Amino acid sequence: MVECQGKPKVDRSLWTHLLAGVFALFIVMGVGRFAYTAILPLMQAQAHVTNLMAGYLASSNYVGYLIGAFAVGTVSWFQRHRLRVYQWSICINVLTTGAMAVAENPWIWYCLRAVSGLASGFVFVLASSMVLDELARRQRSRLSGVFYGGVGAGISVSGLVVPVFGGIAGWRGAWLGLMVVSILIGIPAILWMKDAQNSSQTDMFPLRDLLSNYLTKAYFPWLVLAYGLEGLGYIITGTFLVALATATPALHRFASYIWILVGIAALPSCIVWAYVAHRWGHITALVAAYLFQALGVLLPIVVPSAMGAFLGSVLFGGTFMGITTTATTLGKSLRSRDGSQAIGLMTGVYGIGQVLGAVGSGVLAHHTGGFVLPTLMASGVLFLGAVVLMLGKVMKV
């Protein structure tokens, strides 16, 4: 009887810790980073945001995120105070979300999105570190897919919230509504997160023996290049999908549903692609994910109907987080002696790709009058990423 009473306490503690991480990613990624995609059409229609400005707003957030992620990985102070930095960063992210509704000057928007990105980078890295450390200590690393599902949950809820509050109070109401949701989710995200700095860790992804049979460290540069192309390709659709749908007559009435589907598809994606990688190999999984994503990006353009848009959203949402977790897992395993540096390099190249993709697509959309050409280019970049992955395997086995 005593044993039956003791075990749930351990499970409850684990799940409370895990849910804190899920809520954190919900706030800083699903809302703080990606809600802009859903709100952008409202800001373009009501606040006179041009395509060029839209690209700069997106890129300012990605630059902030890139700086934040690098700072946490390189400055030891952040690791010594990671719980406190995590808590304050969530608060900052929530405040900058609401502040977007108050400001009118584009330069203030740029600063707010940059600070929001900075806080997102802090929280994503620190939450990942604390949650994954705890899962590894308890030998429950398989639950990492649940943790990353917070991104998809945030995207789905923002897709639901933005049309409701946007319909009531326009683009300002959308930002304020998301701030309220973030506050409610942020309370348990802050209170439930614990930091066991001295926990004994095991390998989160024990793949070294599996990978050594067919890949060597020489494959790593090919993986980095392909991952940079993913950052460049996916972010165009990840930022401008709803704007593209809103501007397309055949898709206009489906625009809000499209973003909700992206989030729903993202929810189980890490678990699904982890299984695919375990069953058929990590390169095969990555190549398949890149090709599915390239097709998903392309479908709303070549098949401008509800079926094309919905299927494209599922393919896109179901791959972008899966690619991130699968690629970083592979990179860490290929460079097992310096896994942190390997992931840092991959994150940097990926982040640079995002910044270039957001700015470049904004410029192209400004000169071409829409996001069709940038979207076509995004699909081509993703296809090229799959080619790089396959070419690297052929040349460097």
Please identify which residue in the block is written with the tokens 């897992």.
Answer: 329
**pLDDT tens sequence across 185-194:** 999 999 998 8
- My answer on whether 135 and 32 are in the same domain is yes
Mean of per-residue pLDDT scores for the chain = 86
Highest mean predicted confidence (pLDDT) among 124-128, 183-187, 272-276: 183-187
- My answer on whether 390 and 244 are in the same domain is yes
Contact 119, 182 (CB under 8 A): no
- For the segment 275-288, the average pLDDT, to the nearest whole number, is 91
We report the CATH number of the domain holding residue 210 as 1.20.1250.20
Q: How confident is the model at residue 330 (pLDDT cuts 50, 70, 90)?
A: confident
**pLDDT tens sequence across 197-249:** 654 444 444 444 444 445 667 888 999 999 999 999 998 888 888 888 888 88
- My answer on whether 211 and 227 are in the same domain is yes
- My answer on whether 118 and 53 are in the same domain is yes
Examine the fold and report which residue of 201, 231, 246 is the final residue of a domain before the chain moves on: 201
Contacts of residue 249, Cβ cutoff 8 Å, sequence gap at least 6 = none
Residue 274 has pLDDT above 90, yes or no: no
- Residue 397's domain comprises 205-397
**pLDDT tens sequence across 135-159:** 877 777 778 788 888 999 999 999 8
- My answer on whether 191 and 228 are in the same domain is no
If one counts the domains in the chain, the total is: 2
- My answer on whether 169 and 289 are in the same domain is no
- My answer on whether 83 and 175 are in the same domain is yes
- For the segment 335-350, the average pLDDT, to the nearest whole number, is 74
Residue 9 has pLDDT above 70, yes or no: no
- My answer on whether 98 and 212 are in the same domain is no
| C-alpha–C-alpha distance, residues 269 and 110, integer Å | 31
Lowest mean pLDDT among 57-66, 195-204, 227-236, 367-376: 195-204
- My answer on whether 44 and 192 are in the same domain is yes
| C-alpha–C-alpha distance, residues 388 and 397, integer Å | 14
pLDDT for position 248: 83
- My answer on whether 144 and 282 are in the same domain is no
- My answer on whether 162 and 209 are in the same domain is no
- My answer on whether 59 and 182 are in the same domain is yes
Examine the fold and report which residue of 201, 224, 250 is the final residue of a domain before the chain moves on: 201
Q: H-type helices in 192-218, by residue range?
A: 208-212
Nearest Cα neighbor of 33 from 113, 147, 104 is 113
Is the pTM of the predicted complex or chain greater than 0.75? yes
Nearest Cα neighbor of 22 from 163, 193, 173 is 193
pLDDT for position 210: 46
Contact 193, 90 (CB under 8 A): no
Structure tokens at 334: 């290929």
Structure tokens at 199: 């926990």
Examine the fold and report which residue of 168, 201, 234 is the final residue of a domain before the chain moves on: 201
